Amino acid sequence: MEKKTKRRDFLFTATYAVGAVGAGAVIWPMIDQMNPDASVKALASTEVDVSAVNPGKTITVLWRGKPVFIRRRTSEEIAEARSVKLEDLKHPEKDEDRAENPEWLVMLGVCTHLGCVPLDQKGDYNGWFCPCHGSHYDTSGRIRKGPAPTNMEIPEYKFVDANTIKIG
């Protein structure tokens, strides 16, 4: 009697297990189809000519459907960004790490709170200000005040030559 019950239990458990794997195998394609498709992924990098950008000017380019700010910073802005003490920052990052070439700040123009595009040269720290929920960013795009949790993101980029930046 006891032996028989065990054999049944094993069969049930094995059936449930195979059924669960089968259900998972069917559900996963249904979920994954919503992830970025091949055509979206193919548009992953952009080259930008920055020869016309003078100091104190920002251009905005579209990369992966998101705005990227390319700002050629003035010497005052660089000095301001580099003089801030790390302990004063909500998300401590050195300006040297955010802008290897101090004159050029390349970052995603997306507020890290809920994804709005912050306004240039606004706010309490002479950097950016997000009009949606009032986040203030400094001249290095670091969060200083407001609900955003982190600094604006620096995308992967490199200078292909003196006047061309490749993002992505």
Partner 1 sequence: MSEHEYTPKSKVGKWFNDRLPLLTLANHLTDYPTPKNLNYWWTFGGILTFCLITQIVTGLVLAMHYIAHADMAFQSVEHIMRDVNYGWLIRYIHANGASMFFLAVYIHIFRSLFYGSYKSPREVIWIIGIIIYLLMMAAAFLGYVLPWGQMSFWGATVITNLFSAIPLVGEGIVTWLWGGYSVDNPTLTRFFTLHYLIPFLILGLVVLHIWALHVPGNNNPIGIDIKKPSKDTVPFHPYIVIKDGFALLMFMIVFAFFVFYTPNILGHADNYIEANPLVTPAHIVPEWYLLPFYAILRSVPDKLLGVIAMLSAILILAALPWLDTSKIRSAVFRPLYKQFYWILVADVLILGYVGAMPAEGLYLLIARIATAYYFLHFLVVLPVLGFTERTTPVPLSITEPILGGSPNLAAAKKKDSFKDQ
Least distance from C-beta 23 to partner 1, angstroms? 20
Positions touching partner 1 (CB under 8 A) are: 31, 34-37, 40, 60, 62, 64-67, 113-118, 130-134, 146-149
148: left (phi over 0), alpha (psi -120 to 50) or beta: beta
Tell me which residue of 146, 152, 121, 150 sits closest to 132, measured CA to CA. 146
Active-site entry in 91, 113, 133, 136: 133
8 Å CB contact between 130 and 118: yes
Least distance from C-beta 62 to partner 1, angstroms? 7
Q: Which is nearer to partner 1, 89 or 132 (CB)?
A: 132
8 Å CB contact between 66 and 109: yes
Q: Which is nearer to partner 1, 66 or 72 (CB)?
A: 66
Can 133 be counted among the known catalytic residues? Answer: yes
Q: Which is nearer to partner 1, 80 or 141 (CB)?
A: 141
Chain centroid to Cα 59, Å, comes to 18
Active-site annotation, residues: 133
